[in-house]
Amino acid sequence: MTGDDRGVHVSVRGIVTTVGEERSVDTSHGTSELVEVGLERPEDTPTTVTLWGRWTETAAVLEPGMELLVTEPKREEYEGERSFSTTGDSYVVVEPDFLVNVTDVRQWVQCPRMYYLNKLSSVPLAYPVVKGTVVHEVFGDLLRGREFDEAVEDRVAEQALELGLLDYTAADVEREVAQNAQAIAGWLQQGRLADEDEWRSERLLVSETFGIKGRADAIRRGQPVELKTGKNLKSEPRFHDKIQAAAYALLLRERGVPADTGTLLYTKNEALDRDEFTGDFSPAKEFSIGDGLLRFVVRARNEIAAMEFDADVPTGYEADAKCEYCFEQDTCMVVSGRLDQESKAGQIGTAIPEDEREYFERTYDAIEAERDAAHDEFVKLWRQTPAERADDDRALVDLEPVEKRELPAGRWELTARRTSAAVSKIREGDYVLASDGDPIRGHAELATVERLGDEEVVLTADEPVDVHRLDVYPSDIGPSRLLTAVHDALLKGDERRKDVLFGRESPSFDPTDETFVDNNDAQDEAVRMAVTADDCALIHGPPGTGKTYTIAQAVRAMVERGERVLLSAFTNRAVDNALEAIRDAGFEDDDRGDIVRIGTKSGVREDMQDLRLRRHGDPQERAGELEDASVVAATTATCGSTVMREQEFDVALVDEAGQLTEPGTLAAVNLAERFVLVGDHQQLPPVVRADTDLSRSLFERLIDTHPDAGVLLDRQYRMSQRIQAFPSREFYDGKLRPATGAVAGRSLADLDHVDVTALPDSLRGGVSMVDTPGDDGRHTDAVEAAEVRRVVDAHLEAGLQPEEIGVIAPFRAQVAEITRDVPDDVAVDTVDRFQGSAKEVIVVSFVASDDLDSPIFEDYRRVNVALTRAKRSLVLVGDSDTLSTDEVYGRMVDWADR
Ligand SMILES: Nc1ncnc2c1ncn2[C@@H]1O[C@H](COP(=O)(O)OP(=O)(O)OP(=O)(O)O)[C@@H](O)[C@H]1O
């Protein structure tokens, strides 16, 4: 038993070991089916649970290894053995930690194949979808009391970019949306007259019992309301629409709200011409939600969870769906044909080659593993205590609500005071769960972090909430976009491109003897390859070798040739750095074309805001700005967005390619005829949650497969020769050299404002080791932190400016410990956040007193990044004995200690 044996919410939970045959038995209520399931329980004895009646349908999808939860079971003792069986109140949940979206359940009920297709290829840019979004937003606005015309106008303007790309004018869309919204407004009005309506819009509901999550369009007097922008002239809502409302009712019930009625609002009904049709024109259709329907929802959800357990592919035979009436039939047949899958609709076209199918399946599984890992993050919202969440840097706790201010459009600005200087992953611009202290069972709202100061945090949200806690919102949009990228590359991609990606053909180049960079041969060659590549070019740039500079020269040369360029990178920072270099190269002055930066306000750096494409406004203007731009810059994640997937480029240039997964890279390169990847696979690898081969970048694989398409930038403009020596030898086969004599000879003594004689002898050598015994802290080391502070102070006293000094530590806790006592302008951060930047002086705190069990040591590439941030002086602080237990770090200590 988990939880309280005698409590109300009793349940039995375990891992399935055996699934018996279905049997019929005669009971006092007639004949009934049953299946016995063996369960292993982590902290209890193994047991058996008998699933009765329609729960045998769930038993049919069960397999050993799956986790099973049965609520409200009956307990039986027989000859000392305890067993369980379902009761009339029970729910049976397969893999309860796998969170299925309500919209997925709806789709699955329509056709399991449709659910699968939707996973592979996210929603394309299409007018009905955009209009649907606008109507939903207007609905929310009306609920919050916003004025009708203003809401329609503003929400249409918000979708200007999408609408413009689809060639719709604002006036046309406003007219149509107004018609749809009229139905809602009228219906709302009736409720208001009765003066008993209690509404709230867009509610996020996550169920820890049923493994379901979703956002209900609205809750009215505790009952779910779903909006559909279609018509329905029958008196009953459509079955799959009912399923959606019923799922929300289930989640509300879990919270103790007695939801038993669903309402579907078909907004188009009111807009129809009544003379043409006969039928039920009322937009709102209510239906009652009984236990049978709720159990149906859970069984459908179980089918999805069971299928995802071993990443099976549904065939469509699972459902009664009629393929000939399905508007997805063609797509379904094409996907079945290309991937040689069995499907009810049948196959058309020829299958992609064996190796591509194998790649597809392997990558699909790896992405699904990422999705599972994202789900684990959700589960932590209720499994971990607030303190554990805070320790994991995934929450800010102990906030005190200060103010709730209503904003003009009915949204809210929420201010809370921070009671500690705790660190977390939460940043300005992030989407977070703002809650009263319990993000799952309490009151929680999805909110945007507008400002995050040391004292205060300011958020905006649809509804007011007393903010006591913020949690990172574990979105799974990432995996969905990755799947789409793989689908687009393999099923829709160009054949020649795939020949190159799969190593069947070598990339070709169209030679030119033009010179692009006159003082650096490797850079010159890199730009030449980038400009003349028919398929792809790979630029390997170790630290400080002018990757950004090379990218700027390449983009300039490409635009000069009349090409349209997509400039992308893993992080916003790299995108903005590249743009800065392009501007520095005089791009705009030459009037060669426009640059457009796509990103959120908080994601884009201040000095690039003028390039940022605004989304609000007139459709034709917004779309024109994007379509006319000769350079479009965005992160690779944004390249997977609906709008970007519609764009076409001659060439995609992707920076930080060593940090991108294969599908992450494909999201950008899918949009262009040819591509250039720039990166360094000896620095940080792709960040992935699950241990799969997604952690190897496409860049690294292609450098291996097509060495001739690659070029190494071998001259670095950053580090003194003394600093460069070790990383060059260990990580770049000794090929890295200083670009000039001046770079080679760099030292603190060159800086006019620095008096080197004021530094202790031990810190004058360019690379130094400060040996500390350390303390026993796991994530912090106070002794080491104190030493780091002394080193920083010594440099400040010698005249260095705080902003010329950087400190790198492996854990955020150590970062916080050090930050407390050094001046604000000294940058203190983890390796991951230091990649791509450099300082005159870098101090590295290793926090290793007993073993090398820390993120910085997981991978030599992290240490490489840490060591190569320094220009003139590098100070390593740590326990040299512990460090020397590893061969590479032993050599590092010898080098530093020289
Ligand atoms: N060919 C060149 N001639 C003169 N200066 C150059 C040249 N290439 C690069 N530089 C200079 O070297 C410095 C480092 O270049 P850049 O920032 O492009 O390096 P990077 O490889 O992008 O660095 P990181 O490793 O941090 O990504 C810059 O100040 C840049 O202006």
Confirm or reject: Cβ of 717 under 6 Å from ligand 1: yes
SS3 835: coil
CA 477 to chain centre: 5
CA–CA separation, 402 vs 164, rounded Å? 41
| Dihedral angle sign, alpha carbons of residues 819, 822, 824, 826 | negative
pLDDT (tens digit per residue) in 676-721 = 999 999 999 998 887 788 999 999 999 999 999 999 999 999 999 9
Confirm or reject: Cβ of 812 under 6 Å from ligand 1: no
Question: CA gyration radius for the chain?
Answer: 30
Length of the chain (residues): 898
Number of alpha carbons in the 13 Å side-chain half-sphere of residue 96 = 21
Phi-psi region of 377 (alpha: psi -120 to 50; beta: other; left: phi over 0): alpha
Ligand 1 nearest atom to the CA of residue 545, by list position: 21
CA–CA separation, 519 vs 400, rounded Å? 58
Residue 756: Cβ within 10 Å count: 15
CA–CA separation, 608 vs 577, rounded Å? 10
Confirm or reject: Cβ of 549 under 6 Å from ligand 1: yes
| Dihedral angle sign, alpha carbons of residues 381, 383, 387, 388 | negative
Q: What DSSP line would sit under 729-754, residue for residue? A: HHHSTT--EESSHHHHT--GGG-TT-
- Is the CB of residue 125 less than 8 Å from the CB of residue 646? yes
Ligand 1 pocket test, pick from 656, 712, 715, 717 with the greatest ligand atom count within 8 Å of Cβ, gives 717
CA–CA separation, 162 vs 642, rounded Å? 9
**pLDDT the model gives residue 407:** 87
Token digits of residue 48: 């058996």
Helices H, strands E: what count in the chain? 30, 35
SS3 445: strand
**pLDDT the model gives residue 195:** 53
Q: 779 to each of 387, 687, 849, how far by Cα in Å?
A: 16, 21, 11
- Is the CB of residue 110 less than 8 Å from the CB of residue 329? no
Torsion angles phi and psi, residue 848, rounded to 5 = -140, 100
**pTM beyond 0.95, yes or no:** no
Token digits of residue 456: 């205060």
CA–CA separation, 500 vs 494, rounded Å? 10
SS3 7: coil
- Is the CB of residue 255 less than 8 Å from the CB of residue 439? no
* Degrees to nearest 5, angle at CA 133 with 173 and 286: 110
Confirm or reject: Cβ of 518 under 6 Å from ligand 1: no
Residue 433: Cβ within 10 Å count: 21
Number of alpha carbons in the 13 Å side-chain half-sphere of residue 246 = 25
Residues of the chain with pLDDT below 50 are 1-8, 271-277
Q: Whose CA is nearest to atom 31 of ligand 1?
A: 549
Ligand 1 pocket test, pick from 548, 570, 714, 731 with the greatest ligand atom count within 8 Å of Cβ, gives 548
**pLDDT the model gives residue 579:** 95
Q: Whose CA is nearest to atom 8 of ligand 1?
A: 546
Ligand 1 pocket test, pick from 521, 528, 545, 549 with the greatest ligand atom count within 8 Å of Cβ, gives 549
Domains of the chain listed by start with CATH number: 11-94 (2.40.50.140), 102-299 (3.90.320), 394-472 (2.40.30.270), 493-713 (3.40.50.300), 721-897 (3.40.50.300)
Token digits of residue 37: 């399931």
Distance 839 CA to ligand 1 centre (A): 14
- Is the CB of residue 553 less than 8 Å from the CB of residue 516? yes
Residue 499: its H or E element: helix 495-501
Token digits of residue 416: 């809370």
| Dihedral angle sign, alpha carbons of residues 67, 71, 76, 82 | positive
Q: 894 to each of 482, 764, 810, 887, how far by Cα in Å?
A: 43, 17, 21, 11
